[in-house]
Amino acid sequence: MAISDLSDNITVLISKGCSWSWQWVMNNSKDEFPRKVLMVSFAVMIIVWYKVLFKKWNNGGRELPPGPRGLPLVGSLPFLDSELHRYYAKLAQTYGPIMSLRLGRKLCVVVSSSSLAKEVLKDHDTIFANRDVPVAALAATYGGQDMVWSPYDSQWRMLRKVCVREMLNSTNLNSFTAQLQQEVHKMLHDMYARAGTPINIREKTFEVIFSAITSMLWGGTHKIEKSTAEFRQVVEEIVLLLSKPNISDLFPILARFDIQGVVRKMRKLSLWLDQILDTIIDQTLDMDRSEEGGRKQESRNFLQVVLQRKEDGDPISITQIKGLLTDFVSAGNDTTATALEWAVAELIDHPEAMRRAQEELDQVLGMSTRVEETHLSKLHYLSAVVKEVMRLHPGASILLSHCPSQSCVVGGYMVPKGAQVLVNLWAIQTDPEAWDNPLEFNPERFLMATNKCDYSGNDLRYLPFGSGRRICAGLALAERLLMYTLASLLHSFDWRLPDGTKMDLSDKFGMILKMETPLVAIPTPRLSNLKLYT
């Protein structure tokens, strides 16, 4: 119950009490003692009412984190900025690294420092392992039967285990590299044919990532009458709906009406994707049944393996399998393509950094060979470039929400059970107390011996893939995708903006932090052996 509701209820109670006491006094005007008893009883009732209402917010003498007062009913909604990561960072300068604010009927707690992120994601990891799931996500994932949005329970642990064990193990990642190389070579050939003409970087990289990931998920032999461009459009619309503020989330009593039509739109998109996944699953089952003899383990894709596990008795349903596929097709593609777009943009804007990255590639590879998996571990400066891009432009500027399963003390304040807890990753990774010149693109910071940051989430100053139980399961896959694709783009081409255009590095807040203006750049071939482009 909000503060304003309490005030209204107390006002009504006082008015009723005063009316009642006035009538009682009129009928008993000669007896002072009963009047005093009534006044004391009324005061006690007010105190009890107050304590009962605020017990869950003031447990053990702890208070809610400080924050803006907001307005009755709507809270701080009218004051929110469209660039929410910057808005919360600005509020943190006033209210501190942990603050609370009301967004409609929802209590939101925002954490903006590495030390407090450690309390949420590490020290009290189990308590904060659940999600505060938006209704749009439920519509997109069969009621939350996926790995990203499902609650932290035995089903989630089973899905996570299946994903890591059957898809993201080292053997599968190594075999995936060959598929990625094939798709990247196709992209380089196409770019060479279009050398000197503008190319939309995110569109091209999305095509590569999508083809590579779907080959890993279900192979490339299925008959799907949908283009990559259609998939990209649907994925972007799904991500947009997940990012959109929804009245149904802020005022749950209104969820049944779907006032903004978010759920209707999401169900339409999900149905489009669901029909494709049903077709792919049916075709995979038919192919498996038609095979004679045993399968070759090395030729089996993720879908074949997990379907076989289901037939062997593993407790996973077809719906959960489709939920896992949806996670990778939607989140995995868009985040990686967006990161590659940011990387190329920053390197164009910092020519010295691009020159140094290309010199390293030339030293490790030479000019007469393609990038191979074995080269990546030797590309230290390029690795620093990727890390710096993920620091300045994390895929999720605010980590997906957490929801405590019980009230918990963080930073000396009480975070109530059921609150929406947000970790402002952008604020943490641009904190001037943790990073020198935090808004400056400087890959060299990751080459210093004192900086041991990696993607594991153990150093809470740097956690582009999250931390704790809910850390991104696909981080090893994403790292390979980013490093190999970016190395190939830089080794094969020089990049510049079209004449008469200026770099725009402004971002657009959403579930994925994208460039406000899509990057269009011109490639110029730089390899001496032109056969490498064919």
* Per-residue confidence in pLDDT tens, the chain, 534 aa: 444 443 344 333 334 333 333 333 334 444 454 444 445 444 444 443 444 444 444 445 689 999 999 999 999 999 999 999 999 999 999 999 999 999 999 999 999 999 999 999 999 999 999 999 999 999 999 999 999 999 999 999 999 999 888 888 888 888 888 889 999 999 999 999 999 999 999 999 999 999 999 988 988 767 676 788 898 899 899 999 999 899 999 999 999 999 999 999 999 999 999 999 999 999 999 887 776 555 554 567 889 989 998 998 889 999 999 999 999 888 888 999 999 999 999 999 999 999 999 999 999 999 989 999 999 999 999 999 999 999 999 999 999 999 999 999 999 999 999 999 999 999 999 999 999 999 999 999 999 988 889 999 999 999 999 999 999 999 999 999 999 999 999 999 999 999 999 999 999 999 999 999 999 999 999 998 888 888
The predicted structure's pLDDT at residue 521:
98
The span from the CA of 424 to the CA of 26, in Å, is 60
Residue 233's CB: how many other CB atoms inside 10 A?
12
* DSSP run (H or E) holding 98: strand 98-103
Q: What is the pLDDT of residue 261?
A: 96
Q: What is the pLDDT of residue 3?
A: 40
d(CA 105, CA 44): 29
Q: Which two structure tokens, joined as six digits, stand for 433?
A: 């107390």
**Alpha carbon separation from 177 to 289, 331, 380 (Å, rounded):** 28, 20, 19
How far is residue 229 CA from its own chain's centroid? 23
- The pLDDT value recorded for residue 21 is 35
The domains of the chain are located at 138-533
Tokens (6 digits) for 526: 């730089």
pLDDT at 221: 66
CATH code for the structural domain at 138-533: 1.10.630.10
- The helix (run of H) or strand (run of E) holding residue 212 is helix 201-218
DSSP string, 442-495: -GGGGTSTT----SSS-STT--TT--GGGS-TTHHHHHHHHHHHHHHHHHHEEE
Q: Is residue 227 within 8 Å of 210, Cβ to Cβ?
A: no
pLDDT digits (tens, 9 = 90+) for 400-428: 999 999 999 999 999 999 999 999 999 99
Q: Is 494 exposed, middle or buried (0-12, 13-18, 19+ CB in 10 A)?
A: middle
How far apart are alpha carbons 172 and 216 in whole angstroms?
A: 8
Closest CA to 217 of 330, 345, 366: 330
Query: In whole angstroms, how far apart are CA 491 and each of 168, 181, 358, 362?
Result: 27, 14, 6, 7
Contact 269, 212 (CB under 8 A): no
Residue 365 CA to residue 354 CA, distance in Å, equals 16
Q: How many CB atoms lie within 10 A of CB 449?
A: 5
* pLDDT of 32: 52
| pLDDT score at 58 | 46
Nearest-angstrom CA–CA distance, 432 and 190: 42
| 42, 44, 47, 52 alpha-carbon torsion, rounded to 10° | -100
Residue in the structure block whose two tokens are 């070579």: 185
CB 7 within 8 A of CB 49: no
